[in-house]
Copies of this chain bind each other. A is one copy, B any other.
Amino acid sequence: MGPISSELQRVIDLLAKLPGLGPRSARRVALHLIKRKDTALTSLAAALEDAAAAIVTCETCGNLDTQDPCRICTDTRRDASTLCVVEEVGDLWALERAAVFKGSYHILGGTLSALEGVGPQNLNIGPLVARASAPVVTEVILALDATVDGQATAHLIMDRLDGADVKITHLAHGVPVGGELDYLDEGTLAAALNARHTY
């Protein structure tokens, strides 16, 4: 029997399953929490339970919010004619931080992945086709990762949206703002050069 009690080992094991944490960082986080058990630990446990009780998945777009439909889907100031398709809720957050897009979202819940066994049936595509077929929708932006899996998913969606009367667009490729040319791959540089703008 090791020096770590079973209660603490259980916390460590659960933490070690979180993305970005391994056994070593899980031990470090568990120790940090248990040393602050009347403050940080209690707050985190309560916050987790509050969030679990309050947060639901939006049946329309797949976003996570305290209401269904979510605040973005019910916001009448947003443009219902443009649907932005993203892989995960985290991508929606990232786009909202950019504060440029004012349309609606649709969350796929993943991308096609042969490695992880994700096929078309695992993605939220049927409801997307139904939404995109509504007369009000004129454009579907495929804001998917610029990876092989992301692009395979984009092509699948384009196939499925063949019957819908919408313009399908994707995000521009180019030099990241603040990025140094020297560190960019040739594909990005070529795309940035081809899509160059006049001052």
A residues at B contact (CB < 8 Å): 1-5, 7-8, 10-11, 14-15, 17-21, 25, 27-35, 37-38, 40-45, 47-52, 54-55, 63-66, 71-72, 88-90, 92-93, 96-97
Contact = CB atoms under 8 A, between A and B. Distances in A.
Contacts of A97: 2
Contact of A29 (B11, B19, B43): B19
A27 to B, nearest CB: 6
Contact of A33 (B30, B48, B50): B48
23 contacts: A2-B93, A2-B96, A3-B65, A3-B71, A3-B72, A3-B92, A3-B93, A4-B93, A5-B54, A5-B55, A7-B55, A10-B47, A11-B48, A14-B40, A14-B43, A14-B47, A18-B29, A18-B33, A19-B29, A20-B21, A27-B90, A34-B64, A45-B49
A42 B51 CA distance: 10
A14 to B, nearest CB: 5
